[in-house]
């Protein structure tokens, strides 16, 4: 899987919500994401392992 900052992903455990990739740490296989679209008061960022993410097909997103 190839991820880029700003890319939209879904969680493998919760495919109904979309998240934006903020930062990727390949050494620890960790990715920081936030819920998308942003809420009015912002969306807190949190870290996940790369195997918890599913890249969205941008043609269908």
Query: For residues 41 and 22, is the Cβ–Cβ distance under 8 A?
Result: no
How far is C-alpha 10 from the geometric centre of its chain's CA atoms?
6
| Average pLDDT score, the chain | 92
SS3 state at 61 = coil
Q: Is residue 59 predicted with pLDDT exceeding 80?
A: no
Please tell me the pTM assigned to this model: 0.87
Band of residue 2 on the pLDDT scale cut at 50, 70, 90? confident
Phi, psi for residue 51 in degrees, rounded to 5 = -75, -5
């Amino acid at each position: 899987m190839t991820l880029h900052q700003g890319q939209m992903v879904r969680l493998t455990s919760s495919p109904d919500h979309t998240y934006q990739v903020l930062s990727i740490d390949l050494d620890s296989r960790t990715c920081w994401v936030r819920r998308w679209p942003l809420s009015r008061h912002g969306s807190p960022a949190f870290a996940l392992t790369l195997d918890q993410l599913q890249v969205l097909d941008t043609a269908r997103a």
